[in-house]
Chains A and B, each alone.
Chain A
Amino acid sequence: MSSAVDGHGGARGIAPVLRALLRDPMGAMGLLLVLVFVAMALFAPLVAPADPLAINVVNKFQSPSLSHWAGTDQLGRDLLSRIIWGARVALGIAVTTVVVAGAVGLILGLVAGYGPRWLDAILVLLFDAMSSLPMIMFALAVITVVGPGTDTLILVVVLVSIPGYARLIRAQTLSLRDSDFIQAERAMGASSGRIILLHLLPNVVGPLVVLLSMDIPVIIMLEAGLSYLNLGVRPPAPSWGNILYDGYTSLRSAPSMVIVAGVPLVLATLGFTFLGEGLRDALDPRLQLRVPR
């Protein structure tokens, strides 16, 4: 592809974008938080001090101590381990959803934007139909029919997210479709496939990436919410939502549990939001300092 002659992957490569991101304190903090949680999720088995499912009722409702840094829950399970494993669930679901929905949205958006008019009309109709479904109601309906669980959750969120991403990509594609460089490619005889993959895709994907990273905290929250309602991840599997639910029901016995459950949720959300904002600023060439001509 574009790395054929010189080894660079993108317009400016990853390195300058990373540098721009790190220069922004908000972006840098976001990146740090995200990396912490990603590490937590990936290395859960290695990092968690105890088995998150190990019940030890004798030790229930312990406050944070040296042996249990975050304390224990109503069944004596180590909360820190549950939180760490919960990260795996939260991020796993959110990232999977966002990647799948993003990929499908990207393809559909490119086709709608660059393809023939009639295909565009059909796809836009499809997007409108899909996005007229309110997410929570749709989720509840599907869960009632199929039963709750991680897979259902992912399916619902993917379906509901696709139109938003597809529309964004479609708009970007439409605006680039008549630009000079696309005309130049057509003048050279490039096939539509080549144009879409090599020339449109790399130029529309930027804003999509930002949107995806901003949606991750939304899905984390959604999962937590549904799990809190016992409609998401089934216990005893640890999920931040489950922990929050347990904390709520045990409010009088161990008030610290709610806080312990809430903290990772807030931090993860903040981290991804900052990262998304930072990425958007880093990718926006207009914000780079230039010499006026």
Chain B
Amino acid sequence: MSLLEISRLDVDLPLSGSLIASRRRISILADINLRLARGETLGLVGESGSGKTTLARAILGLQSISGGNLAFDGVGLRTAADFAAIRRRIAMMFQDAQASLSPRMSVGSLITEPLVIHRVPMPDRRAKALQLLAQVGLPAPIAGRYPHELSGGQARWVGVARALALEPALVIADEPTAGLDVSVQAEILNLMSDLKDRMGLSYLIITHNLSLVRHIADQIAVMYLGRLVETGPTAAVFARPLHPYSTSLIAAEPQPDPRKRRADLAIKGEIPSVLRRPGGCEFHTRCISATSRCRAEVPALRAIEPGRMARCHYAGAL
């Protein structure tokens, strides 16, 4: 049984923010189907407007869904009570680590707060805080500091420490390496790997950093404008991407090697606004191989090979 199962998930948001529900709604996510097995790491890849953060919030119950189903460990998640029951077992690491820490609480209080909220007995709060800090390799004096006194990397570690406080089954990491120096990225990745082995964690990693995904994710799901465009095992997708967007993402990453400068780009144009979705295949405005069929007909997400799906009329043929 999967740890996390998402089927046909839709999320719409009303356009205006008035008290009375507005009729116009924009689709942020549509027809999302994902499955995360226990002990697995799934990389959710996409750029701005892909809806990946909305998806994370929906899984945590912070965003109401307009259609589809969510299930965690076999239990359906529908009401606030359902989400409250599983909150202990899913933890989130936020993109802006420092902003996710309450500014007027000390680090020690922050990382032990989940235990207080869920009324887990804690005979010595200070000792627990130090233990959690040690788990992520932070020195004891950090417990007395406040979020604004931490560096970006330290804030990130504190976020990890807090996420692990209740020994969750699933950790959702939203851009865990955003804004971090390369050396710190490597440390975070190593830590995440270690923790996965030691604590049997499953990860849902949301990122646009493909090198990260390549090193830590078993499965990858590529999103564009709130739709899944490709899913499959990481190694296979990188070796031979089936969707042109996946191809361009992989090609777009600047390589740290002056001998591998790209001569041409596999993509053009900008990400369209979700308010004005292109017709047909939504990627056609940027796809260098777009045909008239692409402009007119919406492709379905279909299995191209066992375990690999893509939403493209010409998947695998390009």
Contact = CB atoms under 8 A, between A and B. Distances in A.
Within the complex, are A and B direct neighbours (CB within 8 Å)? yes
Interface of A: 1-2, 4-6, 8, 10-12, 117-118, 121, 179-181, 183-191, 194, 198-199, 202-203, 285
B106 A6 contact: yes
Contact of B100 (A1, A2, A184): A184
B62 A186 contact: yes
A258 to B, nearest CB: 47
Contact of A187 (B62, B118, B143): B62
Interface string B72-114: 0000000000001001100110111001111111101100111
27 contacts: A2-B104, A2-B109, A4-B125, A5-B108, A5-B109, A5-B126, A6-B106, A6-B126, A8-B146, A11-B103, A118-B19, A121-B19, A180-B94, A180-B99, A180-B100, A181-B99, A181-B102, A183-B57, A183-B62, A184-B92, A184-B101, A184-B102, A187-B60, A187-B62, A188-B87, A188-B114, A189-B84
7 residue pairs, one from A and one from B, having the closest CB atoms: A5-B108, A189-B87, A180-B99, A11-B104, A202-B104, A184-B100, A6-B144
B112 A5 contact: yes
A10 B105 CA distance: 7
A100 to B, nearest CB: 24
Contact of A189 (B19, B88, B109, B148): B88
B146 A11 contact: yes
B108 A6 contact: yes
B117 interface: yes
A184 B106 contact: no
Contacts of B19: 117-118, 121
B103 A203 contact: yes
B148 A11 contact: yes
Contacts of A194: 117
Contacts of A198: 102, 105
Contact of A5 (B62, B99, B114, B129): B129
B114 A199 contact: no
B53 to A, nearest CB: 10
Contacts of B146: 8, 11-12
A184 B99 CA distance: 9
Interface in B40-91: 57, 60, 62, 84, 87-88, 91
A178 to B, nearest CB: 11
Interface string B262-274: 0000000000000
Interface of B: 19, 57, 60, 62, 84, 87-88, 91-92, 94-96, 99-106, 108-109, 112-114, 117-118, 125-126, 129, 143-144, 146, 148
B149 to A, nearest CB: 9
B139 to A, nearest CB: 14
A69 B101 CA distance: 57
A188 B111 CA distance: 11
A118 B118 CA distance: 30
Given A4-B109, A12-B146, A285-B148, A184 B118 contact: no
Nearest to B97: A180
A189 B117 contact: yes
Contact of A181 (B84, B100, B118): B100
Q: Which of A117, A188, A198 has the most CB of B within 10 A?
A: A188
Contacts of B99: 179-181
A5 B143 contact: yes
A48 B265 CA distance: 85
B113 A188 contact: yes
A171 B214 CA distance: 44
A179 B113 CA distance: 18
A2 to B, nearest CB: 5
A66 B154 CA distance: 65
B104 A187 contact: no
Nearest to A6: B144
A199 B144 CA distance: 18
A68 to B, nearest CB: 51
A234 B112 CA distance: 56
A6 B143 contact: yes
B227 to A, nearest CB: 24
Nearest to A5: B108
Contacts of B101: 181, 184
Q: Which of A5, A11, A12, A285 has the most CB of B within 10 A?
A: A5
B117 A190 contact: yes
A5 B117 contact: no
A198 B102 CA distance: 9
Contacts of B106: 2, 5-6, 8
A199 B102 contact: yes
Q: Which of B62, B106, B118, B148 has the most CB of A within 10 A?
A: B106
A194 B27 CA distance: 33
